[in-house]
Chains A and B, each alone.
Chain A
Amino acid sequence: MQEPITSLRAGTSAQVIALLGPGSSFQRKLRTMGIREGVRLKVVAVHPFAGPLVVEISGRQITLGRGIARKIMVKVED
């Protein structure tokens, strides 16, 4: 099942399925930061009160605002 990464809890691993959102430059930015279709990531921290998310991709952590994170569709892995 495909869902935005914002609905995951901290500690969950998932695979990126699709990037939504405006225009190719926004998506290119995500891709060059390592968030690409097919990569595996782990949610490290979810800051409360609609704060940012921290995800880990191949050992590197990235902080994402909630609005950006909402555009990243993932499939949860066990």
Chain B
Amino acid sequence: MKRIVLMGNPNIGKSVVFSRLTGAEVITSNYPGTTVDFTRGRARLQGEQVEIIDAPGTYSLQPTNRAEEVALEVLGWGELVINVVDATNLERNLFLTMELLEKKKPLIMVLNMWDEADRSGIAIDVKRLEEHLRVPVVATVALTGEGIAELVSRLGEAQPLLERETLSEEKKWVEIGRITRDVQKVTHKHPTLWSSLSEATIKPFTGTPVALTVILATFWTVRLIGEGLIAHLFEPLFELYRPLAMKISAELGPGMLHDLLIGRIIDGNIDYVQSMGLLTTGIYVPLGMVLPYIVGFYLALALLEDSGYLPRLATLSDNLFHRLGMHGHAIVPLFLGLGCNVPGALSTRNLETRKQRFIAATLLGLAVPCTAKSAMIFGVLGSYGQGYVFLVFATLALVYLAAGLVLNKAVRGESPEIFLEIPPYRRPGFMVILKKTWMRVRWFLAEAIPFLFLGVLLVNVLYTVGFMEWIARIFSPFMEWWLAIPGEAVVALLVGFFRKDLAVGMLLPLGLEAGQMVVATTVLSLYFPCVATFAVMVKELGVMDTLRSAAVMAMTALMVGGAMRWALIR
């Protein structure tokens, strides 16, 4: 099967061109040995079945990071290259084009965002550009699909040119300057409303309030989507499933297998939150509680990305994240992590260096409460008063900052500075957003659900054989002394090692004082994330760094818990 590779700079709508060319059958894969993703899909173009690969965006073929290395590798697989170029930024994009031409592969150029170029007063003579480069050039507006049909019909015109000279870097820029002056006419236009808005939203004093508003609005939307999906889709589905689960329960009868698969029967029925069986709570927590919010978070992320707001948010938040040893892009793992730590941990791979990924993942597991953890905090402390709930969340935020400051100093390695292009604001395409969200949700299902499921299984086995109680008994005297909470609560804390939800069920009936409950809940949240997050961390960071990260989490939880004990319990 013929392979076509899409090459181009980052953020120029390359993936939109890709979406337009391929059908629904696309897979995102991870390049072996790296944490870089690229997308491939199939299409029938002019009666021929072809594979299309969307390489990671790159500015040149001399890689400066892993993503660019992968782009170069992927380029090698292609028999035909579609070079996607930003029509609003021709000169700069031509550098990659010049390098691609030297590879002597058949190449067709796509001048994307033609409409935007037109609006900003840029006119490009396509015919002349074709003459200069000696390759077919097609103007497109991928968002609306304009020009895509022409691109497909002209793919055959792309022929390899063998007699092409190799230019030095300096000569390339000279040549690019010459071509650009010849084919491009720029008429100065008055600043549009959009460009004034662009400036206002990236300056610190006007941009910060806007950013805070956008963040709040985003969370509100995510919550709305999550709650809506639960009430109208997931709850009804699980009610449909209930009779079947009850039937399985009756068939199994009491015993170890029943404990493992169904769990406890509460008041003659299955309680999806508390039964703790593999086929009850094991599928309800990931699918019925977490997934609806994941859909909301991914949808919101796609909107932030495609509208062009995300790079602005990264710029505005860089000041904070830079001090914590990361840079502005670290807002993505934080944001996704508030939905579920698993996609949050997966998204740390977009940070460049080991140091940045380590810090982002550690802070995530430590102090970013996912939907399930937040529900736990509200559930346990709500009856004591909202002030206590606030106290826990405020502590988590403080720990995030403090631990970040310390880790930035303590972790060795590079932490490159922010360096990114701010694309103009764009109206996101409805179908593109839906497709992107769907692809990511499907990816989450494939990557995370098996781990969540295995985690529940593993923990259930460890409980059933009494391993967890054994561990709890060993540590209990020390914790009782250090945190000043009664023995049963300590057992709950240690049992909550991997199962926070279970721990909550054990804490509630103990009738603790407010102060003790705050300490217990805070330690329980800071402590480790869930098993699934751990599994993803091992995948992203490796075993050694995950162990280091876990050590940081355990130490921090004990230190903060100890400090709170002195502040809150007499």
Contacts and interface: CB of A to CB of B under 8 A. Distances in A.
B322 interface: yes
Interface residues of B, number: 38
Contacts of B60: 28-29, 32
A26 B195 CA distance: 29
Nearest to A24: B169
Q: Which of A26, A28, A49, A54 has the most CB of B within 10 A?
A: A54
B319 A60 contact: no
B418 interface: yes
B204 A47 contact: yes
Nearest to A37: B173
Contacts of B311: 63
Given A25-B64, A61-B422, A32 B92 contact: yes
Given A10-B203, A47-B318, A54 B422 contact: yes
B315 A28 contact: no
Q: Which of A26, A28, A45 has the most CB of B within 10 A?
A: A45
Interface in B417-455: 417-422, 424
Contacts of A28: 60, 62, 64, 169
A33 B319 contact: no
Contact of A68 (B198, B204, B417): B417
A21 to B, nearest CB: 12
Q: Which of B207, B319, B419 has the most CB of A within 10 A?
A: B419
Interface string B142-172: 0000000000000000000000000001000
Interface in B317-358: 318-319, 322, 327-328
B419 A45 contact: no
A54 B327 CA distance: 15
Q: Which of B198, B422, B424 has the most CB of A within 10 A?
A: B422
B202 A67 contact: no
Nearest to B423: A60
A51 B64 contact: no
A75 interface: no
B59 A32 contact: yes
B319 A51 contact: yes
A44 B417 contact: no
B46 interface: no
Contact of B204 (A32, A45, A58): A45
B89 A58 contact: yes
A33 B422 contact: no
B59 A33 contact: yes
Contacts of A47: 204, 315-316, 318-319
Interface string B1-25: 0000000010000000000000000
B371 interface: no
A44 B421 contact: no
Nearest to B172: A31
B95 interface: yes
A48 B422 contact: no
Interface of A, helix, strand, loop or mixed by DSSP: mixed
B182 interface: no
Interface string A22-53: 00011011011110100000001101111110
A23 B198 CA distance: 33
A45 B208 CA distance: 12
Contacts of B204: 45, 47-48, 51
A73 B64 CA distance: 22
Interface string A65-78: 11110000000000
Given A32-B59, A36-B173, A61-B198, A52 B89 contact: no
Nearest to A63: B315
A33 B92 contact: yes
A42 B190 CA distance: 16
Given A47-B318, A48-B319, A49-B319, A65 B327 contact: yes
A49 B315 CA distance: 13
Contacts of A62: 419-422
B417 A66 contact: yes
B120 interface: yes
B462 to A, nearest CB: 46
A52 B318 contact: yes
A28 B391 CA distance: 49
List of 4 A-B pairs having minimum Cβ-Cβ separation, nearest first: A65-B417, A51-B319, A32-B59, A61-B422
Given A36-B173, A67-B417, 11 more contacts: A28-B169, A33-B59, A45-B199, A45-B207, A51-B204, A59-B195, A61-B422, A64-B419, A65-B318, A65-B322, A65-B417
Interface of B: 9, 59-60, 62, 64, 88-89, 91-92, 95-96, 120, 169, 173, 195, 198-199, 202-204, 207, 311, 314-316, 318-319, 322, 327-328, 416-422, 424
24 contacts: A25-B64, A26-B64, A29-B64, A32-B60, A44-B203, A45-B199, A45-B202, A45-B203, A47-B319, A49-B319, A52-B322, A52-B328, A52-B417, A54-B203, A59-B88, A62-B419, A62-B421, A62-B422, A63-B418, A63-B419, A63-B421, A64-B417, A65-B318, A65-B322
